[in-house]
Amino acid sequence: MKISELSKRTGASTRSIRHYEQKNLITAFRLENDYREFDESVVERIRTIQFYLGLGLTTDQIADVLECNDTGPEQYQFCDDVLKAYQEKSDTFARQIHSLEIVKRRLDEHIVQMTEMIEKQ
């Protein structure tokens, strides 16, 4: 399929698709007229990439994840770095959530105080 159809089917922009190709996350075949031709399997691959981007992974980290997925279960012992990247990302989110919860609690307390002050007037 052509890049425009792939874009429609995945919701990824043609610019993003070209970027994924440049980062070797996906591959395309070149036709005689030098147009890109994508295999049907690339649709699912892009959805996977989008999933990982949504988790906050970089394209370099996604490349590592995809490489581990592509090698199969017998090679997972070589994918410890990917697991570490997941854990680091999860830890980062946990710290951010904790910080946001503190800020929210302080803001809620301030709202209560402000509301009480206004009601006293």
Tens of pLDDT, residues 19-59: 999 999 999 999 999 888 999 999 999 999 999 999 888 99
Which of these, 73, 77, 76, 9, lies nearest to 44 by C-alpha position? 9
State the average pLDDT over residues 90-114: 96
Range of the domain at 45: 3-120
CATH of residue 103: 1.10.1660.10
Residue keyed to tokens 């070149």: 30
- How many independent structural domains does the chain possess? 1
Are the beta carbons of 74 and 84 closer than 8 angstroms?
no
- Which value, to the nearest 10 degrees, does the dihedral of the CA atoms of residues 30, 28, 13, 1 take? 80
Provide the pLDDT for residue 86.
Answer: 82
Q: With both helix axes pointing from N to C terminus, report the angle between 14-22 and 3-10 in degrees, rounded to the nearest 10.
A: 110
Query: For position 74, what pLDDT does the model report?
Result: 61
Residues ≥6 apart with Cβ < 8 Å to 93: 56
Q: Tokens for 91?
A: 């830890």
Give the residue-averaged pLDDT of 72-84.
67
